[in-house]
Amino acid sequence: MTLSNLNSKLTRRLASFAGIAMLVAAMGGTWSRSAVAAPQVPPQAVTKPAATAPQPGDEPDEAPAKKSNHKQVTGKLNLNTANEEQLMLLPTVGASKAERIIAWRQKNGGFKRTADLRRVKGFGYKTFKKLEAFLDIKGDTTLAAK
């Protein structure tokens, strides 16, 4: 190997290292694992929603009422005799879930225990636990909205 070949190889390697060093310096020491960094939003671009003016009769100490997506019901629902409208009174149960309950009931000859509801698509452990207090497999359906 001649001295000129060794010199050109050394020059190429030094150029590569110099390029990497310049890239690191340009980044300012900030590293990110994602290929695309999230855009920086300047503080003046962030807007806050305007507060509403108090209305006459509003109590300043009064906490806002909580909105609940859950249906408020009392009583029991017989899984083996309830119709679609009665099933839809249950929290988290709409028309499609009610239809699936009825179809499962017809296919399998009824529910042997309330936990069999978990065999119906859309009724996992958490959903069953929310509904368990309202479910029964015998007796009349007494479920009603509060």
Residue 65 lies in a domain: no
Three-state SS sequence of the chain: CCHHHHHHHHHHHHHHHHHHHHHHHHHCCCCCCCCCCCCCCCHHHCCCCCCCCCCCCCCCCCCCCCCCCCCCEECCEECCCCCHHHHCCCCCCCHHHHHHHHHHHHHHCCCCCHHHHHHCCCCCHHHHHHHHHHEECCCCCCCEEC
- 22 lies in the same domain as 82: no
Percent of the chain residues past pLDDT 70, beyond the cut: 70
Tokens of 72: 């408020």
Task: Please state whether the predicted TM-score (pTM) of the whole model is above 0.85.
Answer: no
Which pLDDT does position 27 carry in this prediction? 75
Residue 57 lies in a domain: no
- 77 lies in the same domain as 136: yes
Residue 41 lies in a domain: no
Mean pLDDT score across all residues of the chain: 80
Residue 129 lies in a domain: yes
Lowest mean pLDDT among 17-26, 27-36, 46-55, 73-82: 46-55
12 lies in which domain range? Answer: 1-28
Q: Based on the structure, what is the number of domains in the chain?
A: 2
pLDDT one-digit tens code per residue, 107-136 = 999 999 999 999 999 999 999 999 999 999
- 82 lies in the same domain as 23: no
- 24 lies in the same domain as 87: no
Asked if the model's pLDDT at residue 45 lies above 60, the reply is no
CATH label of the domain that carries residue 116:
1.10.150.320
- 136 lies in the same domain as 77: yes
Residue 105 lies in a domain: yes
Residue 58 lies in a domain: no
Residue 50 lies in a domain: no
Residue 63 lies in a domain: no
